[in-house]
Structure 1
Amino acid sequence: MAASIESLFVEIASLEEPIEELQTLKTAVLSIPVSALRDTVSGLRLEVIFSLLNTNDREKIELCVDILGRILLALSPVHLAQNCRVELQAGLKHPDDTVKILALTQIGRMVLNHEAVTEIQNNQDILREVIHCIKGEKMTVAKEAVRALAKLSHSKAGLDALFRSDLLKDLKDVMATSDIVRYRVYELIVDISSVSPVSLGYCANSSFISQLLGELTGDDVLVRATAIEMVTTLSHSQHGRQYLAQQGIMDKISNMITGAKSDPFSSFYLPGLVKFFGNLAIMDSPQHVCETYPAFQNKVFEMAIDPDPVMTGVALDTLGVLGSTVEGKQVLQKTGEKFNAVLKRMSQLASGGATELRVRCLEAISLLITLQAEQQTEDLLVLTESWFHLLSNQPMEMIRNISIQPFPELHCSALRIFTAIAPQPWGQRLMIGTPGFMEFIVDRSTGPTKEAKDAKFELVGALVSSSTAADILGSQHYLRLRSYLREGAYYVTAVATVTTEGAE
């Protein structure tokens, strides 16, 4: 096969329209494992294929991109930096987006290699072209450029190349192209800043971070909404949160939540503000966040009963996130009747309305009432049981009725609520005390989809693994559950068919 590939290269170089030969070459390189292809192609004149990219023939370009994509993957980043840098740089200017993406992907490999990256850093022209790809019309090209530059910034030398050279001016010039491109650059800056305190320092010293934070209070509500998403991503790292706190951003966003009441356009950015604090609560501490920024918690409760499904959905997701931790459960419980009213509203939403909102509601409820074995203190068991009973006078029947409706996503979400209460003794007592419920659990005819079978299997597993299940459910039911678990999620009972000769 090696001889075949080499001969195809020679043949292609001598032809003006080598379409058939390119198709044959594509088949040849794709048929060989990448590891085996490396020795075969390392000595080939790749400029033969690169030169064929200078055409408007779409078929030829696609064939060349497929061939080069495979061959370049087989070559080391150092080999590419030393032998293909000029061709890849030309690819960044190519009018066809697939060629640009091919070049950007390979440059992304090169900048992660400590030897190859030196070749790239010493050639600012190629990095300048990568930066200019951020303003490309196609989002796929821009994202690949952002990805390559983010990888470059994983080293101090890469940070110096991007932020302490003439390339910084290029980055700022590209940023001024449009709102869309500006936010692509912000995405890059946030990616880089999230790596380490050092990389955050580079971005802050270059004024990018302060410019992003200034967007939070800009006049354009859509720009403001996008800025909040970026700042939320920045808060995912501990050093990012520390920086935002030092800049007073938490207080600023809390004040924005308070001021949203008087802004008729707040619906555009308010969900993002709430998501910011919801993320902060999980990363930091639910109690600290809710006590320090009470406007956040109050707004979540308001949004939960808001008739706008967008607001309600964000509130449900946030409540689920808050209530997924023991500390979050305790914070919500402290609000007393406020949260009880929200739970009753959640019950109404779960029982009727748009399917997507019902699913989000059921998922939030399951997170709120979940307790791991080590979390099952007497106080917490009383808390989750009381929340479950606030859903309905007959919560077991309510959830089971949802689970038998002909919507797979509702069925699975309802089963997850039963899975949440399954390890808890009070949940097991409810199950054994509900007529027909144990039969419902082991009935394999309910929920024919794979997702439904998996959800049922998870429920059975939660019961079997509980230390109290055998005593509360009784040995007969417990043994049936163990049998179900042993047979697996997709077990099908064989049915014998009897045929009578001559029967019609």
Structure 2
Amino acid sequence: MAASIEQLLSLLSGLEEPIEELRSLKTATLTLPLSTLAESLPALRLDVIFRLMASPDREQVNLCVAILERFLQALEPIHIAQTYKEDLQRGLYHPDDSVKLLSISQVGRIVESSEAITEILNNLELLKQIIMCIGGDKISVAREAIKSLSKISRSTSGLDVLFGSNLLASLKAVMAVSDVVRYRVYELIVEISSMSAESLSFCANSGILSQLLDELTGPDVLVRVTCTEMITTLASTHHGRQYLAQQGIIDRISNMILGADSDPFSGFYLPGLVKFFGNLAVMDSPQQICEHYPAFLQKVFDMAEGHETTMIGVAVDTLGIMGSTVEGKQVLQKTGPRFNNVFKRIGHHAKNAPTELRVRCLDSIASLLSLPEDHHTEDLLAMSENWFTCLSNQPMDLFRSIATQPFPELHCAALKVFTAVANQSWAQKQMIESPGFIEYIVDRTVDPDKDSKDTKFELVKALVNSKTVADVFGNQHYLRLRAYLRDGPYYVKAISTVAVEGAE
């Protein structure tokens, strides 16, 4: 087969109508394993395919792209860089986006190789053209360009070339194409900044990062939304949070939350600001964030008690994130009756809201009520029990009723609430006192699908693994749960049939 590929390549050299031969070559390349192709390719030249790819014929271009994708996949990056770098560069000027994608993706492969990356870093014209591709109409081409440039920035030498040469001017020039393209460059800068403190320093010195931060408080509301999302990504790293704090951005966002009530357009960007602080609280310290920026938690409570479904959902999600840590739970507990009222409101939504919001409320409740066994102090258990009681007059009945509804997402979300409290003795006492609860847990017929069965199994596992459940449930019920755990989530009891003489 390797010989036939060589013959097909030779045949293509002098043809004016090469479609049939290209089809045959494509079939041959897809038939051969990559390992076999890799053995024969270094001795072959692919120049003829690159030349034929310059045709205006769409089918011919597509065939060439498919063949080259397969061939180049079998070659080492250093071989591609040394042999076909100019061909890839010409591909960046091709009018067909599939050719641009081929070239950019191969550059992305090359820069991931420590021995090949220099071939690309020494070619500023090629890199400039990749930057220009960020401004193209085709989003897939722009995404591939961002990905490749991001890979280049993983090394100090790559950062030096991208930000320490005239490529920075090209990057700023392409930003002027449109608002959409400017956001794409911001996305690249944030992605690079998130890699390390060193890469953030390069981005900060470029001036592009500060331009992004300035747009956070600009006049365009939709721009604020986009910038908030990007800044939240940057804040997911420790060095990113330090930088944002030093630049006063966290204070600026806090002030935006304070001023939201007087801004009729705050509904567009406020959810993003709240999510920003929610993530910040979990990654750093909930107590420190809430003490330094009290406007954040107050706004979350206001949103949860409001009437806008979107805002309620964001508030519920944020409280669930905050309450996923013991420190976060303690911060909420310190607010006293205010949080109890909010939690009662969440319980109301879990019962009466549209399905999507009900599921989000149930997930948040599960997060807030969960308590690792090594934190089962008297105070924390009392707090968890008190919160559970706030949810409804009969919280056990509430979640039982939701868990028996024929909607898998609600069914599973309610079971997760039981799982969250399964290792807490007060909850176990309420479970055993709830008529038919144990029978419901061990009944596999009430779980309609795989997700439901898996979720029920996690509940049983949490109960069996608890240190207090044997004493609370008693030996008989405990053994039933252990048998369920032993048999697994999909166990089906065999039913034997007895033939009766004379029966039809």
| TM-score bin (small chain) | over 0.9
Aligned to 1:113: 113
Shift of 1:175: 0.6
Distance change in 2, residues 1:425/1:33 (3 Å): farther
SS at match of 1:269: helix
* Structure 2 gap segments, 5+ residues each: none
Distance change in 2, residues 1:464/1:25 (3 Å): farther
Aligned to 1:127: 127
Aligned to 2:328: 328
Aligned to 1:217: 217
Aligned to 2:489: 489
- 1:245-271 Cα offsets, whole Å, 9 max, x none, are 111111111000001100000001001
Aligned to 1:174: 174
List aligned pairs for 1:315-354, cutoff 5 A.
315-354=315-354
SS at match of 2:447: coil
Aligned to 1:447: 447
SS at match of 2:385: helix
Hey, what's the Cα distance between the residues in 2 that align with 1:457 and 1:83? Answer: 57
Shift of 1:52: 2.6
SS at match of 1:307: coil
Hey, what's the Cα distance between the residues in 2 that align with 1:481 and 1:15? Answer: 75
The answer to whether the 8 Å contact 2:348/2:392 transfers is no
Aligned to 1:419: 419
Aligned to 1:269: 269
Hey, what's the Cα distance between the residues in 2 that align with 1:457 and 1:63? Answer: 51
Q: Does residue 255 of structure 1 match 2:255? A: yes
SS at match of 2:445: coil
Hey, what's the Cα distance between the residues in 1 that align with 2:100 and 2:502? Answer: 72
SS at match of 1:42: helix
Hey, what's the Cα distance between the residues in 1 that align with 2:334 and 2:148? Answer: 48
> When the two structures are aligned, how many residues end up with a matched partner?
504
- 1:168-218 Cα offsets, whole Å, 9 max, x none, are 111000011111100100011011111111111111111111101100110
- TM normalised by structure 2 equals 0.96
CA RMSD of aligned residues (A): 1.7
Hey, what's the Cα distance between the residues in 1 that align with 2:43 and 2:67? Answer: 16
**Residue type of the partner of 1:352?**
N
Hey, what's the Cα distance between the residues in 1 that align with 2:104 and 2:136? Answer: 12
Distance change in 2, residues 1:352/1:498 (3 Å): farther
SS at match of 1:445: helix
List aligned pairs for 1:10-409, cutoff 5 A.
10-409=10-409
- TM normalised by structure 1 equals 0.96
- 1:257-304 Cα offsets, whole Å, 9 max, x none, are 001100000001001110111111011100000010000000000111
Aligned to 1:431: 431
Distance change in 2, residues 1:66/1:501 (3 Å): farther
- 1:105-143 Cα offsets, whole Å, 9 max, x none, are 111111122221111111111101100110111211111
Hey, what's the Cα distance between the residues in 2 that align with 1:487 and 1:21? Answer: 60
The answer to whether the 8 Å contact 2:81/2:120 transfers is yes
- 1:347-372 Cα offsets, whole Å, 9 max, x none, are 11100221111111100000000111
Hey, what's the Cα distance between the residues in 2 that align with 1:193 and 1:233? Answer: 10
Hey, what's the Cα distance between the residues in 2 that align with 1:3 and 1:491? Answer: 56
**Residue type of the partner of 1:408?**
P
- 1:150-172 Cα offsets, whole Å, 9 max, x none, are 11011111111111111111100
**Residue type of the partner of 1:328?**
G
More deviation in 45-54 or 207-216? 45-54
